[in-house]
Amino acid sequence: MLAATDLSFAFGDQRVLWDVSLNVQAGGMVGVLGPNGCGKTTLLRLLAGALKPARGSILMDGRPIGQLDRRTLARRIAVVPQHTQLAFDYSVLEVALMGRYPHLGAFEVEGPADLAAAMNALGSTGTAHLAERAFTTLSGGEQQRVAIASALAQLDVRTSTRRTEPRFLLLDEPTASLDLRYQVEIAALVARLHDEGQAADSPLSILTSTHDLRFAATVCTTLILLAEGRVVAMGPPSQVLTADTLSSVYGLTRDMASSLLPTGIPRGVWR
Amino acid sequence: MTHPLRRAISTVVLCLVVAVVAVIAAPFIGPTPLSFGAVFSTRLPFADNTDAQIFFLARLPRALAAALVGGTLATAGVVFQALLRNPLATPYTLGISAGASFGAMVAITFGFVLPFGLPMGGVAGASLAGAGLAVIVVYALASARHSGLSTTVLLLAGVTMNSFFSALILFVQYLSDFTETFRALRWLMGDLDVAGYEPILAGLPIIAIALLGFGWLARPLNLLTLGADAAATRGVDVVRAQRVAFFTGSLATGAAVSIGGPIGFIGIIVPHLVRLVVGADHRLVLPASFGFGAAFLVGCDVLARTVLSPMELPVGIITALIGGPFFLYMLITRTRNTA
């Protein structure tokens, strides 16, 4: 379990998060919602150990993540950023293999098992046929799927001795800036990865930030609504996504907010 | 699916072989023709063998210096491009060569020799000291307000240091007389007219340390091209990798410049050509760039020695004549791709 308690963070004088507490259960599927600038990305960076909180604690299975060395942490928690920008022309397979970094020693070269993990990850995101392509020539949706594959290769524990520990995949607005078809595709992919992750020895938990209410309502089991760095609502989608919360958080009229509620979409529509 | 490394490994080996061949072949080219048999003859004693003397005492040191400087500048270019995540970065972007040039100018103009017993000529030692000064200032600026190195501040500090040291160089030149100015100008052009093996041996330990650092950096640099955050969440100690890249890249550049002066464009042409062939993985790009950079500068130096023979051009003019148009070509094609 990934448990954050009373997290606060500031960039200089600019306070970003206030006393945020949340749990990601082993095998959980958590969505983080909130207006732009409410602290979603910062929350993800804190949970991944890329930033140190000013106050509060983050425990993974009871141990502060700050005490784990970064390679150990990286084998358990992977992050898919909103955009992956490469300064040089790596192939898709090379990007997936970058996920194997925490599994290798300083001068070690990826072996057959690492190659299998990378190809497997590309396969489960439907990008195996792109393996030889240059990452920078892919479309936005394809790049996003390859970025997810790299994170999956990172969390692939088949080569590890401790293969029953829960793993955490953190996604930062995976459907942002994608067209409708890719939004649906990525949403379906995330839902499927979560389902498949439950069958594994070590359950896969997913925490995703998103602006997509349908995605949040139908894929996530728990939602967290942030506003100005604070948790405004937390719970199952039906409790969090109400006309009241949306109208107050996003500054909408009540009618407008209720017209935006994702109602009538069956759970499991993505699967 | 074969490992991506395996496919390009033969190209890397080829680059290194070409470098070795270039170093052996280059000394045979020059105003006095040498015979291969005479140079490596075991029957004549070395003292009587003029061919061997010209080969080993006059021309081989120069070819070796070209290879060492070319390979070092090319790999340093790779490291700075990855550190700054900018394909247009060069080993000189952060002001190291400007600092080195300032040190050399001071030594040439004021005939000033470093007090501590550096095993190199006054000018080379002073240029290394100047490079060190630039490195310290740029590092202090870039790490002042960040736990890691801010690449934006690094770039800005480097650009500022470049123009600041250029101003100091002009000031020192203004104070110098005609012959000193001429010597200084020749140094600034980048010249491999080394006398003997001493300059190479003096620079070699520093370069060897830097190259070891590059070897360790190869994989972290791959991940740094994803960005600092993405590298960190994959288990890279970003701050340490950035520091090692900055200091080893600077050391290598400072040592190379102290041997050959600020020879331009090697650090950008070579990495780009190499990437076109072997891809972007630094475990391939670094060794291939060393080999190709070495061969490339040896070739440029042969051109510099022969194109206006018996006059010898500074090699920096040749690399600049090739590199300037190449750089512009790349700038145009890259902008078109990203637009």
Higher pLDDT, B151 or B221: B221
Look up the CATH number of domain B10-38+48-338.
Answer: 1.10.3470.10
Residue of B nearest to A129 (CA): B1
> Which of chain A's residues have a Cβ under 8 Å away from the Cβ of B81?
87-88
CATH of A83-206, one of 3.40.50.720, 3.60.15.10, 1.10.3720.10, 3.40.50.300: 3.40.50.300
Residue A173 has pLDDT above 90, yes or no: yes
The confidence score (pLDDT) of residue A270 equals: 64
Q: How far is B190 from chain A (nearest CA, A)?
A: 29
Residue B27 has pLDDT above 50, yes or no: yes
Give B233-253 pLDDT, tens digit per residue.
999 999 999 999 999 999 999
Q: How far is B215 from chain A (nearest CA, A)?
A: 8
Please name the member of A77, A84, A91 whose beta carbon is closest to the beta carbon of B230: A84
Give the model's confidence band at B119: pLDDT under 50 very low, under 70 low, under 90 confident, else very high.
very low
* Among the listed residues B111, B100, B253, the one whose alpha carbon sits nearest the alpha carbon of residue B188: B100
Q: How far is A141 from chain B (nearest CA, A)?
A: 17
Average pLDDT over residues A143-163: 86
Residue of A nearest to B233 (CA): A74
Give the model's confidence band at B132: pLDDT under 50 very low, under 70 low, under 90 confident, else very high.
very high
Higher pLDDT, B36 or B335: B36
- Token reading at A176: 């942002």
Residue B335 has pLDDT above 70, yes or no: no
Give the model's confidence band at B46: pLDDT under 50 very low, under 70 low, under 90 confident, else very high.
confident
Average pLDDT over residues B281-289: 96
Higher pLDDT, B292 or B7: B292
Give B153-172 pLDDT, tens digit per residue.
899 999 999 999 999 999 99
* Among the listed residues B313, B196, B189, the one whose alpha carbon sits nearest the alpha carbon of residue B257: B189
* Domain chopping of chain A, boundaries: 1-37+223-233+248-271, 83-206
- Ranges B36-40, B263-267, B282-286: which has the least confidence: B36-40
- Ranges A97-106, A262-271, B6-15, B123-132: which has the least confidence: A262-271
The confidence score (pLDDT) of residue B242 equals: 94
* Domain chopping of chain B, boundaries: 10-38+48-338
The confidence score (pLDDT) of residue B336 equals: 47
Give the model's confidence band at B121: pLDDT under 50 very low, under 70 low, under 90 confident, else very high.
low
Higher pLDDT, B44 or A194: A194
Mean model confidence pLDDT for chain B: 89
The confidence score (pLDDT) of residue B267 equals: 94
* Count of alpha carbons within 13 angstroms of residue A108, beta-carbon side: 14
Binary contact (B227, A49; C-beta < 8 A): no
Give the model's confidence band at A58: pLDDT under 50 very low, under 70 low, under 90 confident, else very high.
very high
Residue B339 has pLDDT above 60, yes or no: no
Q: What is the ipTM of this complex?
A: 0.90
Give B50-80 pLDDT, tens digit per residue.
889 999 998 999 999 999 999 999 999 999 9
As a whole-number percent, the residues of chain A with pLDDT over 90 amount to: 68
Q: Which of A44, A94, A98, A107 to mutate to test the interface with B (most CBs of B within 10 A)?
A: A98
Q: Count the neighbouring beta carbons within 10 Å of the beta carbon of residue A238.
A: 11
The confidence score (pLDDT) of residue B303 equals: 93
The confidence score (pLDDT) of residue A182 equals: 85
Burial class (CB in 10 A: 0-12, 13-18, 19+), A180: exposed
Most confident of B100-104, B306-310, B323-327: B100-104
Give A30-42 pLDDT, tens digit per residue.
999 999 989 999 9
Residue B337 has pLDDT above 60, yes or no: no
Binary contact (B3, A50; C-beta < 8 A): no
> Which of chain B's residues have a Cβ under 8 Å away from the Cβ of A89?
275, 279-280
Give the model's confidence band at A178: pLDDT under 50 very low, under 70 low, under 90 confident, else very high.
confident
> Which of chain B's residues have a Cβ under 8 Å away from the Cβ of A110?
3, 5
- Token reading at A85: 């920008």
The confidence score (pLDDT) of residue A264 equals: 67
* Among the listed residues B89, B58, B75, the one whose alpha carbon sits nearest the alpha carbon of residue B16: B75
Rounded Cα gap, residues B172 and A162, in angstroms:
64
Residue B195 has pLDDT above 90, yes or no: no
Give B97-114 pLDDT, tens digit per residue.
999 999 999 888 887 655
Average pLDDT over residues A95-112: 93
* Count of alpha carbons within 13 angstroms of residue B335, beta-carbon side: 5
Q: Which three-class secondary structure string do you get for A214-246?
A: HHHHHHCCEEEEEECCEEEEEECHHHHCCHHHH
The confidence score (pLDDT) of residue A130 equals: 96
Q: Which of B155, B223, B226, B281 to mutate to test the interface with A (most CBs of A within 10 A)?
A: B226
The confidence score (pLDDT) of residue B167 equals: 95
Mean model confidence pLDDT for chain A: 90
Residue B28 has pLDDT above 90, yes or no: yes
Average pLDDT over residues A202-218: 91
Bridge partner residues of A29 (DSSP): A206
* CA B228 to chain centroid: 26
Q: Which three-class secondary structure string do you get for chain A?
A: CEEEEEEEEEECCEEEEEEEEEEECCCCEEEEECCCCCCHHHHHHHHCCCCCCCEEEEEECCEEHHHCCHHHHHHHEEEECCCCCCCCCCEHHHHHHHCCHHHCCCCCCCCHHHHHHHHHHHHHCCCHHHCCCEHHHCCHHHHHHHHHHHHHHHHCCCCCCCCCCCEEEEEECCCCCCCHHHHHHHHHHHHHHHHHHHHCCCCEEEEEECCCHHHHHHHCCEEEEEECCEEEEEECHHHHCCHHHHHHHHCCCHHHHHHHCCCCCCCCCCC
Residue B218 has pLDDT above 90, yes or no: yes
> Which of chain B's residues have a Cβ under 8 Å away from the Cβ of A98?
222-223, 226, 234
Give the model's confidence band at A20: pLDDT under 50 very low, under 70 low, under 90 confident, else very high.
very high
